[in-house]
């Protein structure tokens, strides 16, 4: 019987919107120079731990794609198969897209702000009809059913769109013994962790995913995580950066 492979989850390197403290959602933004360094450093960490990806999965957003490319260049594995899917896109933040988190917190108050950001079911107002029409016409999404392109999402909504990709694609590859790398976004990684670890609502609220920090999952034969929550390859750095994520918009 083949021993299940290893899953590595990675939030992309710092983006320009991350650096500016803005809600990004499905807005396409580039990496900062620091974000490019984070992606390359993630590749070095994978090499140090002997985790050479056999297959890679990204969203269809530039910051995810660029991070994966830089990581694979560092590993000299640009030739491995890469699959891109909208299901791994960042959470759709609706009317908050592009807005500064600090300003949103000041307007909405800390309780509602943290409910929108961290809870399982909270979600702000949706995109306008005009914005949604433009998004649905984007070539990346034009072939999807219109209702597959959301106007706004909660983390529960995200988990519902990520779960089939885990069950149908990622799990199947892991069962072949492959090392599978997912380079996605803070909330798509949170959604995957919610599925893998069966997180409670309180655990979801407290889960913060730092940029550029590889998170390793190993599995038993039934694809249950051997370590609930996985293991960061650089735990000290990941803990410090997760604290910064939790505090976004608070100061």
Q: Is 8 helix (H, G, I), strand (E, B) or coil?
A: strand
* 36: annotated active-site residue: no
| Of 88, 107, 85, 90, the residue nearest 24 (C-alpha) | 90
Distance between CA 79 and CA 72 in Å, rounded? 8
Mode of pairing for the β-strands spanning 7-11 and 215-217: antiparallel
Mode of pairing for the β-strands spanning 7-11 and 180-184: parallel
Q: Report phi then psi at 231, rounded to 5.
A: -135, 125
Distance between CA 52 and CA 79 in Å, rounded? 12
| Of 97, 121, 105, 92, the residue nearest 247 (C-alpha) | 105
Give the CA distances from residue 73 to residues 18, 44, 135, 150, 182, in Å, rounded to whole numbers and listed in that order: 23, 10, 31, 33, 16
Among candidate residues 36, 38, 90, 153, the one labeled active-site is 90
**R_g of the chain, CA atoms, integer Å:** 17
Distance between CA 91 and CA 196 in Å, rounded? 18
Among candidate residues 12, 57, 115, 185, the one labeled active-site is 12
* 12: annotated active-site residue: yes
* Active site residue ranges: 12, 90
């Amino acid at each position: 019987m083949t021993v299940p492979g290893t899953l590595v989850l990675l939030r992309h390197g710092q983006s320009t919107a991350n650096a500016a403290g803005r809600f990004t959602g499905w807005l396409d933004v580039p990496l900062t120079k620091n974000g490019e360094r984070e992606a390359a450093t993630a590749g070095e960490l994978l090499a140090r731990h002997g985790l050479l990806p056999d297959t890679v999965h990204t969203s269809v957003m530039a910051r995810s794609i660029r991070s994966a490319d830089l990581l694979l260049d560092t590993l000299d594995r640009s030739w491995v198969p890469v699959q891109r899917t909208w299901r791994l896109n960042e959470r759709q933040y609706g009317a908050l897209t592009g807005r500064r988190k600090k300003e949103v917190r000041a307007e909405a108050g800390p309780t509602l702000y943290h409910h929108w950001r961290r809870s399982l079911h909270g979600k702000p107002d949706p995109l306008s009809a005009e914005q949604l029409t433009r998004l649905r016409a984007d070539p990346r999404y034009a072939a999807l059913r219109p209702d597959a392109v959301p106007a706004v999402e909660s983390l529960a909504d995200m988990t519902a769109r990520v779960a089939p990709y885990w069950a149908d694609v990622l799990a199947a590859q892991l069962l072949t013994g492959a090392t599978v790398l997912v380079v996605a976004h803070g909330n798509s990684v949170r959604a995957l962790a919610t599925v893998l670890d069966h997180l409670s609502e309180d655990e979801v609220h407290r889960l913060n995913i730092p940029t550029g920090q590889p998170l390793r999952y190993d599995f038993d034969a039934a694809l249950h995580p051997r370590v609930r929550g996985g293991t960061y390859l650089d735990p000290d750095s990941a803990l410090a950066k997760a604290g910064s994520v939790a505090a976004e918009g608070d100061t």
